[in-house]
Structure 1
Amino acid sequence: MSISKAIEFSAKAHEGHFRKGSQVPYITHPFEVAKILGEAVDPEENEALIIAGLLHDTVEDTDTSLDTIRREFGDVVADLVASDSENKRLPWEARKQHTIDFLKNEATRDMQMLACADKLANLRSVKADYARIGEDVWDIFVRGKEKQAWYYQGVLDALAPLEGLAMYQELKSLVTEIFD
């Protein structure tokens, strides 16, 4: 297992993909998630979490299978990636409710940290996009501001055990700033 291998793997998997509503290469998101996690844990002690941050969207958003992640990076990384991957065949509300329930009732601390870093990186992007295009930012999403607010508040509540972490505090601040 190595972070550099995960960087190469993720960059190749997301090649040609862009962030919603922009021309920003998608790989910037997994890199940011890994950076947030690297600031929260010792990368040498929790390399699997950093790697999962780099790979967290490969199964959900590319043709990469969970079996490939398991084979290339091991069970711990694969389980973390699986925990942050949604079943896109389900309706939006069902997917989001499942995520909230899972984070609250079943997720390990590392799974919660991965989700927190992912959601924080997403809301940082929303804040930047809002500064650039205002209320039109909500047109980028499958559901508008009201549903996004419901989702992010639910995630925030589910992640309350992480309250002592700087990334949780920043997420909490952004949820308030963006949705209140």
Structure 2
Amino acid sequence: MSISKAIEFSAKAHDGHFRKGSKIPYITHPFEVAKILGETVDPEENEALICAGLLHDTVEDTDTSLETIRREFGEAVAELVASDSEDKLLPWEKRKQNTIDFLKNRATREMQMLACADKLANLRSVKEDYERIGEEVWDIFVRGKEKQAWYYKGVRDALAPLAGLAMYEELKELIQEIFD
């Protein structure tokens, strides 16, 4: 397992993909998630977590299988990636409730940190888009502002054990700023 290998793998898996409603290459999101994690933990001591940050959307959003992640990066990375991957066959509300319940009741601290970095990166993008296009930002999403607020507030509450970490405190601030 290595961070440089995860960078290459993620870049190839997401090649040609873009962030919702933009022409920004998708790879910027996994890079930001890994950067947030790298600012929170020692990358040398938490290589699996940084790799998972880079790879967290490969199973959910590309044709990459969890077995491929396990084979290429090991069990620890695969477990983290699996923890941050939703079953896209389920309805949106059910997927999001499953995520909240998992983060609150079964996730390890590392899994919570991965989810926090992922959601923080997403909300930073929402804030940037909101400043650029205003309320039209909500048209980008499967569900509008009210449902997004429900989801992000549920995630915030589920991640309360991370209180004190800079990324969690920023997540809380952005949720309040964007949704209240």
TM range, smaller chain = over 0.9
Q: Which residue of 2 aligns with 1:46?
A: 46
* Alpha-carbon displacement from aligned partner over 1:136-178 (angstroms, at most 9, x marks no partner): 0000000000000000000000000000100000000000000
Q: Distance in 2 between matches of 1:138 and 1:119?
A: 16
- Give, as a single letter, the amino acid of the residue that structure 1 aligns with 2:126: V
* Equivalence for 1:109: 109
Q: CA deviation at 1:130?
A: 0.2
Q: Which residue of 1 aligns with 2:152?
A: 152
Match of 2:68 in 1: 68
Report the residue type matching 2:90 in the other structure: L
Cα offsets for 1:36-57 (capped at 9, x unmatched)? 0000000000000000000000
Q: Distance in 2 between matches of 1:33 and 1:126?
A: 15
Partner in structure 1 of residue 124 of structure 2: 124
Kindly, what percent of the aligned residue pairs are identical?
86
How many residues of Structure 1 are paired with residues of Structure 2 in the alignment?
180
Counterparts of 1:31 and 1:44, CA distance in 2: 17
Letter in 1 for 2:73: F
- For structure 2, the residue ranges without an aligned partner over 5 or more in a row are none
Aligned-CA RMSD value: 0.2
Following the alignment from structure 2 to structure 1, what is the Cα–Cα distance between the partners of residues 16 and 134?
A: 27
Q: In structure 2, how many angstroms separate the alpha carbons of the residues matched to 1:168 and 1:45?
A: 20
Alignment of 1:174 with 2:174, yes or no, is: yes
TM-score, normalization by structure 1:
1.00
Any stretches of 5+ residues in structure 1 without a counterpart?
none
Does 2:41 align with 1:33? no
C-alpha displacement at 1:5, in angstroms? Answer: 0.2
Match for residue 81 of structure 1? 81
Q: Which amino acid in structure 2 is aligned with residue 5 of structure 1?
A: K
Q: Distance in 2 between matches of 1:43 and 1:21?
A: 32
Deviation readout 1:1-21 (Å, 9 max, x if unpaired) = 100000000000000000000
Moved over 4 A (4+): none
Partner of 1:90: 90
